[in-house]
Structure 1
Amino acid sequence: MGVHKKGYLVLEDGSVIEGKAFGAETVRYGEVVFTTAMVGYPESLTDPSYKGQILIATNPLMGTYGVPSKSLKEYGLPLHYESDSIKVEGFVISFLMRPNHWSSEMTLDEWLRREGVPGLYGVDTRALVKKIREEGVMRGAIVTTETDLEEILENIRKISYESTNFVELVSPKNPIVHTPKNVKFRVVVLDLGVKFGILRELLKRGIEVVRIPWNWDILEAYYSYNADGIFISNGPGNPTLLKEVAKRIRKAFNEEIPMMGICLGQQLLALADGAEIYKLKYGHRGINKPVKDLESGKAFVTTQNHGYAIVPESLNEFKVWMVNLDDNSVEGIKHESLPIIATQYHPEASPGPWDSLWVFDEFVKILEGRK
């Protein structure tokens, strides 16, 4: 891998963590978060929900299986990618490994460099994650080029993750249609930064997907495309910045349209219900998060990537369907009378366990019931 120059992670509290630079030589700013996922870095790095964030991996060995080929596809979408490019602002790891895998096209270092994203390795990620767990997520910058760190710190303290609409940076500008071989239903997806894994699961079930931009009127799109349901996707950033989107979702409630939401999608359904959202201290990001279904009493392991949650007592027309077994936060909601379901976690995994793929089957049952 050659000799790499020094690089730095600068945090808003003035901390400077030194490591070795890889990927692109640049400076990128973002909210510093961590994931406990042991595998799946290509999926994590391309997850649009990470837009605006610098990601720390707790698993010490990264890059072991390189970067997979995009020619491996399912339903026309790259199998090991969750979008068409890297979405994180930077990647902080402990050890950068040489890859050894039949499907690898390049190293992790080469991939980040090609996409203009900086990385930092040789970092004590255990100490760094402990700091975030104790103090909470914080703003920061990853620096892999020679520059004035004092100036970087000043810039960090000027940026705001909370007030930036990252959704508009990852949502498509025009509609995109994905059609499976045997179409059973058509669903309008409000694309706030949808993961390819979600699209693959919908297509697998015979659902034609019409992805629309984040600021479109979903009710108008539903009728103009003669759809059978509405899906509200995951996405990055602060959900309370999307109150106008929530108002448009509320109008769709009046039409009793089958709906499903995931992650940010659940939060927007809750906001449409008049509920409150709060920010978690350091978020839930990983592929080993336990969730309990309050209806069946069953527990399962899930993939998660979110920094906000619903205040359960503030729900009005929705009821709590699932909870997180670590902190009892809301992981699923159902409408009391309308055909609407949502999860905070990611039932499509990508990466992670397939314990909860059945949630998509529940959505199909709802669609079938409305035919």
Structure 2
Amino acid sequence: MINILLINLGCKLGIFKLLIKNNYFIYEFKKQINIKHLMKIDGVFISNGPGNPFKYIKFYNIILFFMYIKTPIISICLGHQILGILNNFSFFKLKNGHHGVNHPIFNKHNKKLFISSQNHNFNLKNNNKKNFNNAYYSLFDKTIQSINSINQPIYSFQGHPEGCSGPNDLLSFFNFYNKIYEK
């Protein structure tokens, strides 16, 4: 079983269900974690949540620690924004936020269109092209919707791929760790 550290910033029940469905054992991190558990972590999942990512600075050091030791990290929505900030992406408030369940997201690498659920007012600027491959972007306003590190196993998505009461085009997102640890 793959051990996942869930950094819970306001995680929905649907995310817990999908992580469990993919046979991950979840350690939830809210304020602190036992050092014994840290040694067992195979991957980190940074959840969605409300508000401005700078309000969650207390979580930055634990995320940086796992980036430093090259632990696979995936994140969504607010977690995506935090991961971007920690990887030197610029950050800005959208004039009109992205809200709702029918947001067209395009993958420029495989030329596929996905429908996504979105609920955020902030976004990352695509200014870290040297170390990241940003495949997904919004067809509404061309904002980036994912970051994928070229040098380490880091992947994030701006929307809500969990598909609870919304589109489920991107559920394969939750199979990330299984792909890394395939035997």
Is TM > 0.5 for Structure 1 vs Structure 2?
Answer: yes
1:345 offset after TM fit, Å?
0.7
Report the number of matched residues: 183
CA root-mean-square deviation? 2.0
Distance in 1 (alpha carbons) for counterparts of 2:74 and 2:113: 21
Query: What does residue 351 of structure 1 align with?
Result: 165
Given the alignment of the two structures, is residue 236 of structure 1 paired with residue 55 of structure 2, yes or no? no
Name the counterpart of 1:275: 89
What is the Cα deviation at residue 332 of structure 1? Answer: 0.9
| Distance of 1:229 and 1:239 partners within structure 2 | 21
Query: SS of the counterpart of 1:305?
Result: strand
Residues 1:216 and 2:61 aligned together: no
Return the structure number with greater relative CO, CA threshold 8 A, min gap 6: 2
1:48-197 matches, cutoff 5 A: 184-197=1-14
What is the deviation of 1:240?
2.1
- Relative to 1, partners in 2 of residues 1:240 and 1:258: Cα closer, same or farther, differing over 3 Å? same
Say if 2:68 is the partner of 1:254. yes
Task: Provide Cα deviations, 1:261-307, integer angstroms capped at 9, x if missing partner.
Answer: 01111111111112221111221111100001122110111111111
Residue of structure 1 in register with 2:135 after alignment: 321
Give the letter aligned to residue 361 of structure 1.
N
Q: Helix, strand or coil for the counterpart of 1:250? A: helix
List per-residue Cα deviations over 1:120-141 (Å, max 9, x = no partner).
xxxxxxxxxxxxxxxxxxxxxx
2:20 to 196, 203, 206: 203
Letter in 1 for 2:53: P
| 2:79 maps to which of 254, 265, 278 | 265
Report if the CA contact (8 A) 1:278-1:309 is conserved: yes
Structure 2 vs 1, CA of residues 221 and 334 (structure 1 numbering), >3 Å: closer, same or farther?
A: farther
Q: Which amino acid aligns with 1:209?
A: I
* Deviation for aligned residue 1:230: 0.8
Distance 1:196 1:255, change over 3 A: same
Structure 1: 4+ residue segments shifted above 3 A: 215-218
**Percent of aligned positions that are identical:** 31
Over residues 319-341 of structure 1, what are the superposed CA-to-partner deviations in whole Å (9 max), with x where a residue is unaligned? 21210111011111101111111
- Whether the aligned pair in 1 keeps the contact of 2:102 and 2:115 (CA below 8 Å) is yes
Note if contact 2:2-2:177 (Cα within 8 Å) is conserved in structure 1: no
Residues 217 and 282 of structure 1: CA distance in aligned 2, closer, same or farther (over 3 Å): farther
SS at the partner of 1:313? coil
Write out per-residue CA displacement over residues 56-97 of structure 1, whole angstroms, 9 at most, x where no aligned residue.
xxxxxxxxxxxxxxxxxxxxxxxxxxxxxxxxxxxxxxxxxx
**Normalising by the residue count of structure 1, what TM-score does the alignment of the two structures yield?**
0.46
